[in-house]
Amino acid sequence: MKEIIKKAVLLFSVLLFAATASAQVKKWTIQECVEYALKNNISIKQSELDLQATGIDKKLAIGNFLPSLNGGASHSWNIGLNQNITTGLLENQTIQYTSASLNSDITIYNGLQNQNRLRRAKLAQLGAQYQLTKMQDDISLYVANAYLDILFNKENLKVQKNQQDNDEKQLSKTQELVDAGSVPRGDLLDMKATVAADKQKVVAAENSLLISRLSLAQLLKLDDFANFDIADVDMEAKPSPVMAETPEAIVAKANEVRVEIKIARSNLDLAAKDIAITKGALQPRLTGFYSFSTRASYSDRVSGYALSTTNPTAVIGQVEGTGQNVIQPNYLPIFSKAAPVFEQFSDNKGHNFGLQLTVPIFNGFTARGNVARSKVNYEKSKNAFEQAKLDLETNVYKAITDAKGALNTYEASLATAEARQEAFNYAKEKYAVGMMNAFDFNQSQTLYTNAQSDAIRAKYDYIFKMKVVELYFGIPIIQKP
């Protein structure tokens, strides 16, 4: 008895764990999917890094206005006959030197290149932000399309399972009628074939659902594909207020809010700044500079002079005309150890400062060639800007046309599904009284099921294409509550 109780408790624990694990499977909403993709998508991360890089470029452009400051130090050994920079004498020995310096310079004027580079860096940062926004819109659109595809496959699977259930019930009824001799055995074989075909359709629908879930999970960069699923929501194909707007109004709004135009405009502004920067290289450049330096020697130094005991006088010349020698006392230097290093640094320090003007005269056509190239790039950016406006207008009109066409298809598919349902109900009545054979009945049911699937597909196709039109009107794919 105890063994039975233990097995029952173990079985209950296993079932409870399975139920708990099943309950913990997250059901993702479309908003959660979009937000997760915006945080983890690799393309968006790349765009965010591009935006960070433009921020660095902006800091560098600001740094061009600041003076440079560089310090240096050296220690050297000179071996052989060298002049001691402290004593001024030539000495055949090893002499060590230590020197230190501090240099600074600042650009006073360079054709306003620094100002234009800063303005360009700000424009580049704004353009990178537009690129990031566009990437976010594209990813949101991809996620929404994949999400709607899962919803369609879920509803389609329900339709296929309902048809299988109905056909299996009909198979049981047909079996009873055949056993009673009311219908021929051929009807039973037709129903068995229909149920087998239904099972194939269910398997195909399950595979489509699995693939669509896998596609969205991969788009979100999720590792746990098996447990990924979305929330079961009933999305209504409600008409959007945007569809009541005229195409001209939607195009005008798109030109205001869509980043495609802003990106093209920022590229045009960047090209204009490039012209200003290259023209600045043709103007004179004025810089200010300052330097501080000091040095120290480790060789003996002259600490004084003493009269030579062996040769107290020295002839330095003769008087013209008389030939009389000109003599002077012969003093010899007295050497002592080198002065302390920091004392020498203090004694030998020096400053150097001034202004430097550079006037470009000829540089192998480099400067003027850069100006000409920047002007060509500006014209290309101008053409790209005009093309972006034309492309946006074309895309808006196409999106409106696609949405209207999808709405018409959806309304027609609903009417078809309703008509097929009535036809199927009538076929059931006829089949029940023996006025229709199993083949024709199955055909009627298949047509009704296909009409249901077509209506579901048209519904989600219309929802997605309507979202595209709303996006052009400035309405995001997912609106935060």
Q: Strands 27-28 and 229-230: what pairing? A: parallel
Q: Is the C-alpha dihedral spanning 343, 345, 348, 351 positive or negative?
A: negative
Mean pLDDT, the chain, as a whole number? Answer: 86
Label residue 139 exposed, middle or buried (CB < 10 Å: 0-12, 13-18, 19+).
buried
pLDDT at residue 52 is higher than 50: yes
The more confident residue out of 338 and 449 is 449
DSSP letter string, 299-350: S-EEEEEEE-SS--EEEEEE-TTT-PEEEEE-EEEEEEPPPPHHHHHHHS-E
pLDDT confidence of residue 105 = 94
Parse the chain into domains and list their residue ranges.
27-40+110-283+360-472
The more confident residue out of 185 and 137 is 137
Q: Which tens digit of pLDDT belongs to each residue from 288-318? A: 999 999 988 777 666 677 777 788 887 777 7
**Calpha distance 459→358 (Å, rounded):** 71
- Take residue 378 and report the two structure tokens written for it: 């500006």
Residue the block writes with tokens 């296909």 = 450
pLDDT confidence of residue 65 = 94
pLDDT confidence of residue 418 = 94
pLDDT confidence of residue 479 = 67
| Percent of all residues in the chain with a pLDDT value above 70, rounded to a whole number | 91
pLDDT confidence of residue 50 = 95
pLDDT confidence of residue 260 = 93
pLDDT at residue 212 is higher than 80: yes
Q: Which tens digit of pLDDT belongs to each residue from 73-121? A: 999 887 877 766 555 667 677 778 889 999 999 999 999 999 999 999 9
CA atoms within 13 A on the CB side of 117: 18
Contacts of residues 69-72 at CB distance under 8 Å and 24 or more positions apart, as own/partner, are 69/102, 69/103, 69/104, 70/102, 70/103, 70/104, 71/100, 71/101, 71/102, 71/103, 72/100, 72/101, 72/102, 72/103
pLDDT at residue 400 is higher than 60: yes
pLDDT confidence of residue 480 = 58
Average pLDDT over residues 409-424: 94
Q: Which amino acid is at 168?
A: E
Average pLDDT over residues 428-433: 82
**Calpha distance 435→428 (Å, rounded):** 10
| Contact (CB, 8 A) for 363 and 283 | no
Residue 341: which of 158, 90, 78, 75 has the closest Cα?
Answer: 75
Average pLDDT over residues 369-394: 95
pLDDT confidence of residue 344 = 82
pLDDT at residue 244 is higher than 60: yes
Q: Which helix (H) or strand (E) holds 230?
A: strand 229-230
DSSP letter string, 275-299: HHHHHHTTS-EEEEEEEEEEEEE-S
Question: For 90-137, where are the E strands, in sequence order?
Answer: 90-109
Domain 27-40+110-283+360-472 has CATH 1.20.1600.10: yes
The more confident residue out of 480 and 310 is 310
The more confident residue out of 79 and 159 is 159
**Calpha distance 123→117 (Å, rounded):** 10
- Take residue 359 and report the two structure tokens written for it: 């006037």
pLDDT confidence of residue 426 = 92
pLDDT confidence of residue 21 = 42
pLDDT at residue 72 is higher than 50: yes
